[in-house]
Amino acid sequence: MDRILILAQLLLMGFSVLGIAAGAPALMERHLLTLGVAFGGTLAAALVPPRWIIAQARWLYVLGLVALVAVLIVGRGPAGQEEVRRWFQLGAFSLQPSEFMKIALVAYLASFFSRRGTDYPIIGPVVAIGLAAGLIAIEPDLGTALFLLFLAAFILIVIGVPFRRLVAIGLLVTLIVASIHGVFLNRFEYITDRVDAWRVMNLDPTLLERWDPDRAERIRNAIYQPERARLVLRAAGPLGHGPSAELPTNLPERQNDMIFAVVTYASGWIGAGMLLLAYGLVFARGMQIATRSTGALSVMALGLTGYLTGQALMNVAVTMAIVPVTGISMPMVSAGGSGLLAAGLAFGVLHASARRIDLPEVRA
């Protein structure tokens, strides 16, 4: 196991326990079990040769695509939202295919560009990215769909895909995503409400006065969560209030989407800095693994690093109301079985990749 990665991962898991203890102590027993399963996934994935993952990348992607289609047919969503279908209910546990599609898409892109190069008519990646993001968007899970697009763009830019092809990919993927989910998006007002709530909070508070009373009330409801998160962050102070302190206000989704605010309140701004430092370690080590690897292994390490740290950055941005609420979790910290397991698997593949290159102080 890579010492730096395992240190960062254990730090993140520690902050995860702190966040649940402070925000949702009733979930602690279940959360510890889920964390154990996720860490077991790390240990198992670390034993799998990364080249085997690359060799099976197309099948992993196809399996993920089948799961995304199936969840739209037989899946379930939050209570009271019959039209939302995001996960399979397996007894007491649930499985969310979109979380694992992040890893499958990274592996597919790594496999493709290692075989074809970066300056190649790349209709395969266009269709792969567009279909995955489009199917996730109609669940609807627009936040995860957008993150998948950003992750793919990050990979393509860093590996050096020519600008003209980036433009073509962007236009074609946008067309695919829009054609798949455009007709569905109008059925879910809360998505546009979240964007308008962000506009009111950050750009123009007088917008509320221009809308009819019903719409203005919906926007006020959408503002409630990010506004409460900001209040919790401000009240944290430098040293925090400890895991047993009660939050100064009600904060919806405190164990998941808003876990950063809860961790900050418990450990203070200094603790929040340490949490971000842990992700910084993941980014630095992951990029080091990517730069010292070659071919598909390099691209896969790059993509998994972007997944773990980019999603964390987006979660922080949502909590601070820098971007609209997306419902996206913080990898290895937020509660949730599929998200934790997917993050654990991603860490495991990075551990396995580190073992196959010449890095100083890699092995524990």
CA dist list (Å): 64 to 136, 307, 360: 11, 17, 36
Q: Span 136-157, mean pLDDT?
A: 87
Q: Span 75-100, mean pLDDT?
A: 80
* Domain limits, the chain: 3-355
CA dist list (Å): 57 to 51, 61, 112, 138: 10, 6, 9, 24
**pLDDT tens for each residue of 173-220:** 667 656 655 555 555 667 778 888 888 888 878 887 777 788 888 888
pLDDT class for 362, splitting at 50, 70, 90? very low
Tokens of 356: 């196959």
Contacts of 147 by beta carbon, 8 Å cutoff, 6+ apart: 102, 310, 311, 314, 326, 328
The rounded distance, in Å, linking the Cα atoms of 71 and 169 is 27
- With beta carbons less than 8 A apart as the criterion, state whether 8 and 332 touch: no
Q: What is the CA radius of gyration of the chain?
A: 20
Judged against a pLDDT cut of 60, whether residue 249 lies above it is answered with yes
Tell me whether residue 320 is exposed, middle or buried, using C-beta atoms within 10 angstroms of its C-beta: 0 to 12, 13 to 18, 19 or more: middle
Angle CA(324)–CA(325)–CA(330) in degrees, nearest 5? 120
**pLDDT tens for each residue of 1-25:** 889 999 999 999 999 999 999 999 9
- With beta carbons less than 8 A apart as the criterion, state whether 221 and 200 touch: no
For tokens 């609420």, name the residue. Answer: 325
Chain centroid to Cα 320, Å, comes to 16
Judged against a pLDDT cut of 60, whether residue 360 lies above it is answered with no
- With beta carbons less than 8 A apart as the criterion, state whether 136 and 68 touch: yes
pLDDT class for 129, splitting at 50, 70, 90? confident
pLDDT class for 163, splitting at 50, 70, 90? confident
Q: Span 127-151, mean pLDDT?
A: 86
Judged against a pLDDT cut of 50, whether residue 135 lies above it is answered with yes
Judged against a pLDDT cut of 70, whether residue 54 lies above it is answered with yes
Judged against a pLDDT cut of 80, whether residue 356 lies above it is answered with no
